[in-house]
Chain A
Amino acid sequence: MISPTIKIAPSRFPNEISEIEVIRDLSKCINCGTCAKVCPFGVHERKTGYNRVSKPLSYFCIGSSCEDKPFYCVNHCPRKALSLDISSEYRTIGDYRWTRDLIIGTWKQAETGIPLKGRRYEIGNSGGGFDRISFNFPENEGNRGNNSQLTTHKLEDTDISTEIDLNKREGTKISIRVPFYGGGMSFGSISLSVMLAKAKAARAWGTFTCTGEGGYPEALEEYDDNVITQVATGLFGVMEDTIQRVKIVELKYAQGAKPGLGGHLLGDKVTPEVARMREAISGSSLFSPFPFHSVYSVEDHKKHLDWIKELNPDAIVSVKVSTPTDVDMVAVGSYYAGANIIHLDGGYGGTGAAPDIAKKNIAMPIEYAIPKVHEFLKQEGIRDTMTIIASGGIRTAHDALKAIALGADGVVIGTAELVALGCVRCGNCESGRGCPRGIATTDPELSEAVNVVWGAQRLINLYAAWQGEIVDVLKRFGMMSIKELVGRYDCLIENCEITQD
């Protein structure tokens, strides 16, 4: 299968946030233009007709690695007016989970489609979970088989498959080309353009995106084969037709960011369009109840699944749950209720607004839940018939690979997609008019910022970079398929290094 085309999709902002700031001391600069002549990356420019050199375009500067280059502008400036420093923007952006390098790295990958190498683009600074785990690569990296076997051979990228099966039970077989798909973000919490961009990228990569709880906009119809429709506790926008159109139906019991709590969509975000989709009144806050008030046991749970399978016998069903102490029992219960996928959503991720107390404290992080469920399903003898999908804090291709090595079959990504579209993780998605950067908002003016074609390209690029990195890691492990990595704890090692200040 041919991979989708990667096209450079630069940031839509005139000033990209850069790590390095090139400082020109205007009291010393005599506007001789030497720097503009030496720098091959176009940082300095003296526009024709202007006496003064323009403000440096720091984003293109290669930083300290330029120091020993013959063209290092700092050395060339006759008045010693130039210097390099870490930019204050770079110092300010990011947090423990999504460090400045993870955010900027995701932006770069969404721009170029090329995986970024280096620990700082692979690991965050939270000090636990995925950030405490590294890969334990074998000595004979890149070879199939081990030294004791005579059959070792060098692997090529093309030997390696990143395809996973989403249904291991009876019924429709569905596989996706990359071991990840897009998470549920509802129309209302994000704009239609973002939804469409996600759907286009999913189609290009032969994977899925999910509607979230908020209805199925007509514009998504042409992507039916790559859309998962969500049935959540509020049943907003759920209609027989939306269930019959798709290949996968996701029953959302809980979501990691607000486990045990229903969704909120504050009144400001309920525009007439959103209200129509959700069969609600615009301007009024919408609360999804928690839990499904009709489910208090596995038997009730089964009724729900039967109802969906009755409406659409060809669909496979994913059950999305968060991660309580008995998540293993929930997974087994879902299996017996007839689910094809158990989707575990850990607390540290999530895209929409959620109470801080819930995100931080309620339910266990995904890193604990995956091996717990994986082991329990193995013990019960049903691991091979159930697909485990993990989400809630998968930031990079490396997180995805670690989740798989811990026992998942694949992952769902959410925040990483938003970051690819320009999210800075400022957390203001829900206040006032919504996301100031036009991503998590339905404000007509703000949401114009994200154009569907550009957005889709950014996501296609990000997926390409992730896929490239996954292939690379599998190759180093001597694996020909991502399926070989599932539950391979021996591929992981504890890492005690601190990555950033």
Chain B
Amino acid sequence: MPKKYNVEVTLTPPRYIPIGKFEIERGEDCINCGRCAIVCIYEVHKRQDEDLRCMAEPVAYRCKGCFCCIQECPRAALSIKENEEYSRLGDSYWTPEIISTNWYQAETGKIPVSGAGYRGPFSGEGFDSMWTDMSEIVRPTRDGIHGREYISTAVDVGRKLPAIKFDSQGLIASPIPPTLNIPVPIIFDRLPFGGFENVYEAMAKAASYLGTFMIVDAEEWFKGVGRKEMGDGRMAKGERSHLIPYITQPTLHGFDVDWIKTCKMVELEYDEVVLSAINEVKRINPKTIISVRVPFGDNVEELVEELTYAGVEVIHLYADLNGQTFGKSLFIKDMTQNVHRHLVEHKIRDEVTLIVSGGIAMAEHVAKVILCGADLTAIDLPLLFALECRYCKECREVLSCPVELKDVNPQWGTQRIINIIGAWRNQLLEILGAMGLREVRRLRGEVRRAIFFDDIEKETFDNVFVWGGVIR
């Protein structure tokens, strides 16, 4: 049995006052009786330090919306409302809930837990239109979360042989392609914005601690962040080996050659001549694994098939930030299924590793996209959320970042990223445990262990509503 993989999480508080969900206002009728300070068990209400006769301004970000003070105040002087700054966070895909729970996980490293049932819509778009299965009585579950059973979240990246040939002496005759074993099915993708030196340093340190990898734009890295300063300076050798340079055209970048020689994995953007680029890289470093970055577009299934037949080891399919594919806009959940199914039909699924990225916002998305057929995922924005990013996109307009991302302390950032991955991994264990799976590799493409909204809705209610009709 492998050494137990464990992500050590540590409480790492935010640098700025967080954006709370509620706003609490104390009206003029307050008689400073102090009742609110007694009933609020979250310390929102306190007396002023300077003048104990008066109540201080409520520390509203701590409010958890229990309504106790509102209902107990003898003068009904308090009012509560949703904090607009909170409801304006993000957008319709990266909702305030998603952003703030990622903050919470980066701070605590804990799984978000709450009481009194589920609060959201019945189902929704994209990943919200599926549920995962569980086992009971007739199929056993696993207990991974409390460590009573070992559930592996490791994945192998690289080409796998459909069969192994042996020579007459019984020795393996087939050339075994290189593979990388990553202990979590999550690697770090290029950042859409916020790629400051300190941020990269935090990411690289976290990737190295976690044993995972981080894709960096070779050109940007080389020129901007600078290999002098970063690559050779602040970053230790171990951390450097967790980088996956993303290269557009290897021949044009003489400076990449030395780097490529040391890389375990390299990523190339797809174009017509990608196969010769692969050869070029392989010539420089035969041991490196090459991933081809392919946009999720129309007919991507055929392209993936072609590349797989051509011997490509890893294909990184990416959608936009919100998980929408290019061309006909579909969601990655559906496109991943299409690609997976297509490869299965051609009996070549196991030969290639699929990395899927774009719109992976929560732990559940990792599990769901793997269920749909990915081997592993690459994430972007959640890494920035780990560093307190508010997704205001100000930095894109070269405005000032409200949380000064560029000045984050890399050590602090490293721990926040480790925390978020630790929490995500534990949630993945919850899903795997409930399904009775011992390893995440077994989850891949297990669509029969998923419940899809469209299917079950039809299966159930076509039967039920056959009598009635639809009132509109």
B-contacting residues of A (Cβ < 8 Å)?
11, 13-17, 26, 55, 88-89, 91-93, 95-98, 125-129, 131-132, 134, 136, 253-254, 257, 259-262, 264, 287, 289-291, 295-298, 301, 321-322, 324-326, 329-330, 333-334, 347-365, 367-368, 371-372, 375, 393, 406, 415, 418, 423-433, 435-437, 440, 446, 489-490, 492-497
- State the Cβ distance, A402 to closest chain B Cβ, in Å: 10
The answer to whether B431 touches A362, judged by C-beta atoms less than 8 angstroms apart, is yes
Select one of A16, A429, A494 contacting B465, CB under 8 A.
Answer: A494
Beyond A492-B468, A495-B471, whether A353 also contacts B138 by CB under 8 A is no
A-contacting residues of B (Cβ < 8 Å)?
22, 28-29, 39-42, 64-68, 70-76, 79-82, 101, 111-123, 131-141, 143, 145-146, 148, 362-364, 367-368, 427, 430-431, 433-436, 448-449, 451, 456-457, 459-461, 463-472
The answer to whether A14 touches B71, judged by C-beta atoms less than 8 angstroms apart, is yes
Measured between beta carbons, the chain B residues less than 8 angstroms from A440 are 115-116
The answer to whether A260 touches B433, judged by C-beta atoms less than 8 angstroms apart, is yes
Measured between beta carbons, the chain A residues less than 8 angstroms from B459 are 368
The answer to whether A261 touches B117, judged by C-beta atoms less than 8 angstroms apart, is no
The answer to whether A360 touches B364, judged by C-beta atoms less than 8 angstroms apart, is yes
Most chain B Cβ neighbours within 10 Å, of A356, A364, A428: A356
The answer to whether A430 touches B113, judged by C-beta atoms less than 8 angstroms apart, is yes
Measured CB to CB, the nearest residue on chain B to A260 is B434
Select one of B81, B116, B364, B456 contacting A92, CB under 8 A.
Answer: B81
Select one of B29, B67, B467 contacting A426, CB under 8 A.
Answer: B67
- State the Cβ distance, A392 to closest chain B Cβ, in Å: 8
Beyond A253-B136, A261-B434, A429-B116, whether A489 also contacts B74 by CB under 8 A is no
Measured CB to CB, the nearest residue on chain B to A490 is B467
In Å, the complex CA distance between A363 and B118 comes to 13
In Å, the complex CA distance between A254 and B468 comes to 34
Measured between beta carbons, the chain A residues less than 8 angstroms from B113 are 264, 353-356, 430
Given contacts A131-B122, A260-B141, 5 further A-B contacts (CB under 8 A): A97-B119, A363-B132, A375-B463, A496-B470, A496-B471
The answer to whether B75 touches A55, judged by C-beta atoms less than 8 angstroms apart, is yes
Measured between beta carbons, the chain A residues less than 8 angstroms from B362 are 357
Beyond A362-B134, A494-B468, whether A89 also contacts B145 by CB under 8 A is no
Measured CB to CB, the nearest residue on chain A to B114 is A427
In Å, the complex CA distance between A314 and B462 comes to 41
In Å, the complex CA distance between A264 and B145 comes to 11
Beyond A361-B431, A362-B431, whether A298 also contacts B70 by CB under 8 A is no
- State the Cβ distance, B58 to closest chain A Cβ, in Å: 14
Beyond A357-B112, A358-B434, A489-B464, whether A330 also contacts B117 by CB under 8 A is no
The answer to whether B82 touches A91, judged by C-beta atoms less than 8 angstroms apart, is yes
In Å, the complex CA distance between A436 and B38 comes to 11
The answer to whether B119 touches A424, judged by C-beta atoms less than 8 angstroms apart, is no
Beyond A13-B71, A92-B80, A289-B148, whether A493 also contacts B138 by CB under 8 A is no
Measured between beta carbons, the chain A residues less than 8 angstroms from B81 are 88, 91-92
Select one of B72, B132, B138, B466 contacting A14, CB under 8 A.
Answer: B72
Give the 4 A-B CB pairs with smallest separation, nearest first.
Answer: A260-B434, A128-B122, A429-B115, A13-B71
Select one of A321, A361, A495 contacting B132, CB under 8 A.
Answer: A361
Measured between beta carbons, the chain A residues less than 8 angstroms from B116 are 350-351, 415, 418, 423, 425-427, 429, 440
The answer to whether A132 touches B70, judged by C-beta atoms less than 8 angstroms apart, is no
The answer to whether B465 touches A351, judged by C-beta atoms less than 8 angstroms apart, is no
In Å, the complex CA distance between A16 and B67 comes to 10
The answer to whether B134 touches A324, judged by C-beta atoms less than 8 angstroms apart, is yes
Measured between beta carbons, the chain A residues less than 8 angstroms from B131 are 347, 361-365
- State the Cβ distance, A305 to closest chain B Cβ, in Å: 11
Determine the main DSSP class of B at the interface with A.
loop
The answer to whether B67 touches A17, judged by C-beta atoms less than 8 angstroms apart, is yes
Measured CB to CB, the nearest residue on chain B to A324 is B134
Select one of B41, B117, B143 contacting A415, CB under 8 A.
Answer: B117
The answer to whether B466 touches A329, judged by C-beta atoms less than 8 angstroms apart, is no
Beyond A92-B80, A97-B120, whether A17 also contacts B71 by CB under 8 A is yes
In Å, the complex CA distance between A414 and B456 comes to 26
Most chain A Cβ neighbours within 10 Å, of B82, B134, B460, B466: B134
The answer to whether A89 touches B79, judged by C-beta atoms less than 8 angstroms apart, is yes
The answer to whether A494 touches B137, judged by C-beta atoms less than 8 angstroms apart, is no
Select one of A324, A355, A492 contacting B136, CB under 8 A.
Answer: A324
Measured between beta carbons, the chain B residues less than 8 angstroms from A11 are 71
In Å, the complex CA distance between A424 and B112 comes to 19
Measured between beta carbons, the chain A residues less than 8 angstroms from B434 are 259-261, 358, 362-363
Measured CB to CB, the nearest residue on chain B to A334 is B137
What are some 26 contacts across the A-B interface (CB < 8 A)?
A: A14-B73, A55-B75, A55-B76, A88-B81, A128-B122, A128-B457, A257-B118, A321-B137, A334-B137, A351-B115, A353-B115, A355-B111, A356-B112, A356-B114, A360-B364, A363-B131, A363-B134, A368-B456, A418-B116, A425-B117, A426-B66, A429-B115, A437-B66, A440-B115, A493-B465, A497-B472
The answer to whether B66 touches A261, judged by C-beta atoms less than 8 angstroms apart, is no
Select one of A253, A351, A490 contacting B117, CB under 8 A.
Answer: A351
Measured between beta carbons, the chain A residues less than 8 angstroms from B75 are 55
In Å, the complex CA distance between A91 and B67 comes to 13
Measured between beta carbons, the chain B residues less than 8 angstroms from A16 are 71
In Å, the complex CA distance between A78 and B82 comes to 34
Measured between beta carbons, the chain A residues less than 8 angstroms from B118 are 97, 257, 347-350, 356, 359-360, 393
The answer to whether B82 touches A330, judged by C-beta atoms less than 8 angstroms apart, is no
Measured between beta carbons, the chain A residues less than 8 angstroms from B68 are 436-437
Beyond A295-B137, A325-B449, whether A355 also contacts B468 by CB under 8 A is no
In Å, the complex CA distance between A301 and B460 comes to 28
Measured between beta carbons, the chain B residues less than 8 angstroms from A356 are 101, 111-114, 118
Measured between beta carbons, the chain A residues less than 8 angstroms from B112 are 355-357
In Å, the complex CA distance between A482 and B156 comes to 57
- State the Cβ distance, B457 to closest chain A Cβ, in Å: 8
The answer to whether A428 touches B115, judged by C-beta atoms less than 8 angstroms apart, is yes
Select one of B66, B364, B368, B461 contacting A494, CB under 8 A.
Answer: B461
In Å, the complex CA distance between A485 and B66 comes to 38
In Å, the complex CA distance between A71 and B192 comes to 61
In Å, the complex CA distance between A328 and B65 comes to 40
- State the Cβ distance, A27 to closest chain B Cβ, in Å: 11
The answer to whether A489 touches B40, judged by C-beta atoms less than 8 angstroms apart, is no
Measured between beta carbons, the chain B residues less than 8 angstroms from A128 are 121-123, 457
In Å, the complex CA distance between A348 and B114 comes to 12
- State the Cβ distance, B372 to closest chain A Cβ, in Å: 14
- State the Cβ distance, A17 to closest chain B Cβ, in Å: 7
- State the Cβ distance, A58 to closest chain B Cβ, in Å: 8
Select one of A15, A352, A359, A415 contacting B73, CB under 8 A.
Answer: A15
- State the Cβ distance, A45 to closest chain B Cβ, in Å: 13
Measured between beta carbons, the chain B residues less than 8 angstroms from A375 are 463
- State the Cβ distance, A63 to closest chain B Cβ, in Å: 18
Measured between beta carbons, the chain B residues less than 8 angstroms from A97 are 117-120
The answer to whether B363 touches A290, judged by C-beta atoms less than 8 angstroms apart, is no
- State the Cβ distance, A319 to closest chain B Cβ, in Å: 8
Measured between beta carbons, the chain B residues less than 8 angstroms from A393 are 117-118
In Å, the complex CA distance between A440 and B436 comes to 31
